[in-house]
Each structure stands twice: as structure tokens, then as C-alpha cells.
A and B are shown apart, each in its own frame.
Chain A
Amino acid sequence: MESLGYLLNGFETALTWTNLLYCLIGVTFGMFIGVLPGLGPTAGTALLLPLTFALEPVSAIIMLAGIYYGSMYGGTITSVLINTPGEAASLITCLDGYPLAKQGRAGAALGIAGIGSFIGGIISIIGLVLIGPFLAKQALKFGPPEFFALVILGLSLLLGLMGKSLLKGMIGALFGLSLAFVGLDQSSGIVRFGFGQIELMKGIDFISIAMGMFGLSELFLSAEASLRGKAPEPPKVTGLLPKKEEWGPSMKAIGRGSVLGFIIGLIPGTNSVIPTILSYSMEKKLSKNPSRFGKGALEGVAGPETANNSYCGGALIPLFTLGIPSSPTVAVLLGAFIMHGLTPGPTLFQKNPDLVWGIIASMFIGNAILLIMNLPMANLWARITMVPFKLLFPIIIMVTIVGTYSLNNSMFDVGAMLVFGILGYLFKKAEIPLAPIILTFVLGSLLEKTLLQSLTIFQGSFLGFFTRPISGTILVIAILSLVFSIVSSVRNKRIITEDVEM
């Protein structure tokens, strides 16, 4: 009941005209980047981050969170209409969405995806309301060893799932961690890896890395294709509701997708593609006629689309309660919190209730706006797929340059972005996953701070972590997960998901 009172206060914050406007801008931009192939939620969120400097923290995060869950809706449209996922989480939707469009049922596919996304989004936010404050209270009992163990668990799960090669995943993660060491060390006051450069004294800016690795590198990859062709015209969307007999199986798929997406979102180190794959295979297994899948089964669209939206709400729980991002986009959101002087973690619910409940309330509103945007306006969004890339990419590059420059009014940050853009492009070519780099970079200072504090408590003994029940248990799970990944990798049986959410 206490949560309900806070939530009502949150609505008071979210329903101001200013915050409604930023919520609308966020979800619209999210839809836009979801529709556009080649630009994902991580790059989109990073792109708008510098523009939020002048905003109130609550408005800024409402807008950036809107981009995150808005892009999940947008990606569906291109998957169904032109068989091209706008973002990775909608890849699985192509399997049945596009065949439905070819049968003249694009409207039904988009309709059920919109309804499922809305239900999944709302259920996961309710889960966030119910579980978030409880988890935050428990996390208040955590000390540095427990937080260190949690970070290690998140990273070990991430490494287990990311990329084709565990070796490259580990190198990537440690590379990201190394970048976090650059600059003034808070505990000793010395400048590390500054190489005499004044600009490096404050460290490498998170935005330069995120914009370079996720934004620029994606643009370079997209630019490899010919810029002279014309985009295909999408089919017209008519009849947004499924047939009478399709409602039952679709709603069951939506229910299962909601629960699945939410639970996977709670696990640090996962990404939005995993629940969609699991949901699709679950629906196929549970179906009375699995042969329909791949030829236009509506449950094959409803389940995964619900799961990826439900995942978004679940993934915010580790961020709000523990300060640990579970995916690259959530890592950018963490960067936004820090940039606005806020510290996500167990104290967030206590110290900034207006902010956190305002953001949660805005997600209810944002999902409602997205439902309206998706169902009656599907044809309008479909037209956006026709905007040629050759017109968009110079504009995006220039906005990226100015956004990065505006961080410190320095060309050094633009240069750093270019360097990380080229590195990101080459890393992708060499199949080195980028997600571990950004996650370890963001978590680097927390990891180092908690490790050093813990070692001071344990008088330098690493075994001290195993003398505390919570940190010991979490570290054992992390070690087991890593060992499992190594064994699976050796046997070539590891579940592989490529870099996603870019």
C-alpha cells in the first residue's frame, strides 16, 4: 500500500505538462530509432543524452527511458512490413510477422504486437512497483563485498551469453574496465594513465565511448551498403485486430511472454533478445500445430513482442535497486543518472522518491501513448521506413558531433568519439562484442571502489569475500556461471547472442 501512495505521487510528477512533453518526445524518438534500421536504443539514448544537460533530472530520465521502451515498439513495424528488424529484439518477429504481411495481414500482426507490447510493458512496471522497493530495502543491508560480488555476477553472466568467443568477450570486458582507470583516482588522488594530457586527467567521457562504439560504428557499417538505392515501399496496413479464433491463443502467448520477459529482465547480464528467442521457442513447443510457425502464426509475433517489452521494465529493477545495469542501454541510463548527480542503488527509493516514482509513473503513460501511436498510426510510421539513409546519416553524424562537443565544449571529446567509433567498427569486424566493453566501463569505478574497500576490511585477503554469506554465495554462483560458460564454450554448446540493443 505504501508503494501505491508513492506511485500516486509519482503520477503527480509525471503528469505535469513539461514531463508529459518530454515523455512524448522520448517515446516518439524511441519509435523513430526503432523504425530506422542501423540505429538502436543504445545509440539513440546516447545521442540524446547531451541534450538533457539543461533539463531537470526527472524530465531528462523520463525522456531517455521513453527512448528505451519506445524503440521496442518501433522495431516491430519494419520487421513485419519489410522483413528488416529496426532493432535486434524484433529480429524474431520477422519469422512470422513478414509472412503475415505477405498474406495481407500486416495490420493483425502489428495490432497484436502493439497490444502485447502494451500489456507486457504494463505488467513489468507493476512488477517493478511491487518488487523494486522491497529489493532496495534488502540491498540497504549490503556492504562493499556484496556489491563487488553482484558486479562480478553480472559480468560473469554477461560474458557467458555474449558473442561467439568467450576469449574475445573477456578481452573486451577487461578492455572496458581498463578504460575506466584513466584519470584522477578518487582514493589516492593521483592521475592514472594520463600520459601528460590535461584532457585525460578527468578520464575518458562515457558519452564519447558510447556514441563512438554504438552510434558511429553502426553508421560506418550502414554506410558500407550502396547509398544510391531507394527504400522499398511498405505495404498498406489495414484491419488491426486478429480474427475471433486467434484471440485466445494470442492472449495466452502474451501472458506467458509478459512473465518470461520480466523474469529475464531481473537477471543482470542478459539482453532483450534472449526473452524473445525463449518466448518464440516456448510458443512453438506449446502450439497444437507447430508447423504453422514461420508461415504466419500470430502467437509467434504476440509472445516475443510482449517478452521484449516486459524485459525493459524488469531490466530497470537491478538499476533502480542495486545501481547495476543489466544491458548496454540501461548502462547509458545509468550514465544519465550519474550525469545528473544521482546515484542509482538502494538509497534511490529513499533519497529521491519523487524522481524514481515519477519515472515509473511516466512509463505507464508512455506505454499508453505508444499504444495509440502504434495502432491507429501504423501507416504513418511505416512511411518513415522510406526516408533514405543517404539523407539521414549526414544529419545523424553532425548531431553526434555537436552532442559530444557540447559535453565539455572540447574537440578532444569529438576526437575520442571518432577513435572509439573506428575501434568499434574494427571490433565488430573481428567479432569482439561491444556490450561487455561499455558495461565494464560503466561499472569500473564501482567495481574498483568496492574491491579496494573490501580488501581493506579483509586486511588484503581475497578469501574474506567467502566469509560473508551473501557475498560468498553470489561469488560462488558467479564462478559456477563462468566455469559453465567455459565448459560450454569448449564443447561448443554455449548459447550465443550477438551484440544487441546497439
Chain B
Amino acid sequence: MKNISVYMAVFFLLFSGVMFWESLSMSYYSEYGPGPGLLPLWVSGIIFVLSAVYLVTAFKKDIISFARVLPKGEGLVNVLVCMGSLVLFMVLVPFTGFLIGSTITLFILFSRGYKWYWSLGFSASVAFIIFWVFGVLLQVPLPVNDLGW
């Protein structure tokens, strides 16, 4: 079952199924006119039906194998590092503050293409510039540590 279409169809089936179930708890029609459940019920119902058709076609003709579309080797690592770095940033920042958290995240991203000392220099510089532009110049209240950075 290495067909991405099947997983996508199942995702939409689950998504629409949950929405349909939730929509049933909202009023469909009130004394003043249509209720908040009317459109979500119809839309999720139609997605469910279309997703079922998608699932059937996914087995028969819309076969997109993982091997054909997903990267391998270095490309796969690059993509996973990109995704992972964002997760890491969200986990780190509340504890370390913006400057340290973003420097670590940027270091991981830069190190995919540069030697460690260049990566360290680039990441510290970029993190500082972004902190200054957003935090100081544009007054965005960035997440900071007890020391204020």
C-alpha cells in the first residue's frame, strides 16, 4: 500500500466524517432562518461522498506511488530537517528565548549546505538581525528568556 492517493482519500474521509458528526450537534434550521449547521453539514457530506469516490479511483487508476513522488537520500533528509527544525523551534523557544532558539534552529538549517563554522556565523548573525528588525524596530513582542532575549 505505497500509494499516496489512498492515504489522502482516507485523510479526507476522516476529516469530513468528523466534521459531519460535529455538524449534527448544531442547529440546521432555526425560527429565523437557516442555522449554523446547515452549510457545514452539506459541505462535509459532499466531501465524504467525493472522498469515497477518490478512494475507489485511488485503487484503480489514480495510483501515485511513494517511490515516484517522495524524495530519497539527501533530499528526504533536507525536507525532514526543515520540518523538524520548525518543531524544534516551537519546543525550544519558550525555555531559551528567541535568540538562542532561533540560532540553534538556523544552525541546523544552514549546516545542510555549509561547514559548521560558517553555519554558526550565519545563524548567529541572521538570528540577531531578525531579533533587531522584528523585536526592536517593529516592536513585535518576541518570546524572550529572563534576560530579555
Contacts and interface: CB of A to CB of B under 8 A. Distances in A.
A394 B69 CA distance: 24
A405 B43 contact: no
Nearest to A226: B74
B141 to A, nearest CB: 5
B82 A223 contact: yes
A401 to B, nearest CB: 6
Interface string A376-392: 00000000000010110
Contacts of B86: 397, 401, 414, 418, 421
A460 B33 contact: yes
Contacts of A432: 8
B109 A397 contact: yes
Given A171-B51, A398-B102, A406-B140, A219 B82 contact: yes
B36 to A, nearest CB: 4
B82 A402 contact: no
Contact of B47 (A175, A225, A227, A390): A175
Contacts of A399: 130
Interface string B1-19: 0001100100010011001
Contacts of B57: 167
Contact of B22 (A168, A174, A193): A193
Q: Please classify how large the interface on chain A is, using the bins under 10, 10 to 19, 20 to 34, 35 or more.
A: 35 or more
Contact of A405 (B22, B33, B69, B142): B142
B36 A190 contact: yes
B62 A178 contact: no
10 contacts: A178-B16, A188-B27, A220-B82, A223-B78, A227-B74, A398-B102, A402-B142, A406-B138, A418-B90, A460-B34
Listed from nearest, the 9 A-B pairs whose CB atoms lie closest are A390-B113, A456-B33, A394-B109, A227-B113, A224-B75, A224-B71, A223-B78, A429-B69, A406-B140
Interface of A: 51, 54, 165, 167-168, 170-171, 174-175, 177-178, 181, 185, 187-188, 190, 192-193, 219-220, 223-228, 388, 390-391, 393-395, 397-399, 401-402, 405-406, 409, 411, 414-415, 418, 421-422, 425-427, 429-432, 448, 451-452, 455-456, 460
